[in-house]
């Protein structure tokens, strides 16, 4: 299968790669760019472990063909922290014990980051709704929701 050239931005860095036409964004991120924060969970778009932000919107990278992101901006969990400093949201996940096995964490954080970017003061119901497409088998979601609400509060105070 002949590879095609793909130009896009990942975590604010321009990338130009030769990719298979049928390669998923998840495969390109993990195998070609060694960005392993997005996880391969179900490969059917049901679990959310592979979630990344595409132009600021959460997408399932296991269902997104890499060539679909031509000229667009992808943010992975590796691209959230700046200068080695965790974001308020990432700190809240740690401080509220919202991480257990960690497999779902990057997807949860990226979905929450997109929510907070569009709605800086969400209700608990809005947080639960935003996270509803991401599966966590460990936490029961309570601490994850607490973490998102705490991050929203901290971010609101720091404006």
Judge if 59 and 95 occupy the same domain. no
**Model pLDDT for residues 105-119, shown as the tens digit of each residue:** 999 999 999 999 999
Torsional class of 141: left (φ above 0), alpha (ψ -120 to 50), beta (otherwise): left
Q: What is the residue range of 135's domain?
A: 88-157
Phi, psi of 9 (to 5 degrees): -115, 135
Judge if 55 and 93 occupy the same domain. no
CB 76 within 8 A of CB 12: no
Judge if 71 and 18 occupy the same domain. yes
Task: Find how far residue 53's CA is from the centre of its chain.
Answer: 6
Judge if 97 and 126 occupy the same domain. yes
Judge if 108 and 149 occupy the same domain. yes
**Model pLDDT for residues 11-41, shown as the tens digit of each residue:** 999 999 999 999 999 999 999 999 999 999 9
What gap in Å lies between CA 80 and CA 132, rounded to an integer?
A: 22
Is the pLDDT reported for residue 1 higher than 90?
no
What gap in Å lies between CA 32 and CA 18, rounded to an integer?
A: 9
Tally of domains within the chain: 2
pTM comes to: 0.95
Q: Which of 79, 106, 138 is the last residue of a domain?
A: 79
Is the pLDDT reported for residue 159 higher than 70?
no
């Amino acid at each position: 299968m002949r590879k095609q050239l793909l130009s896009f931005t990942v975590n604010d860095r321009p990338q130009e790669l030769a990719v298979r036409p049928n390669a998923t964004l998840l495969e390109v991120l993990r195998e070609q760019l060694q960005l392993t924060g997005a996880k391969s969970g179900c490969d059917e778009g049901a679990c959310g472990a592979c979630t990344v932000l595409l132009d600021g919107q959460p997408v399932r990278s296991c269902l997104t063909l890499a060539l679909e992101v031509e000229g667009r901006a992808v943010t992975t969990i590796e691209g959230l922290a700046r200068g080695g400093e965790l974001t308020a949201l990432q700190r809240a996940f740690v401080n509220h014990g919202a991480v257990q096995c960690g497999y779902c964490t990057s997807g949860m954080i990226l979905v929450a980051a997109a929510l907070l970017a569009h709605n800086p003061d969400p209700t608990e119901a809005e947080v639960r709704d935003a996270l509803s497409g991401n599966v966590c088998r460990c936490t029961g979601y309570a601490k994850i929701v607490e973490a998102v609400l705490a991050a929203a509060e901290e971010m609101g105070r720091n404006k």
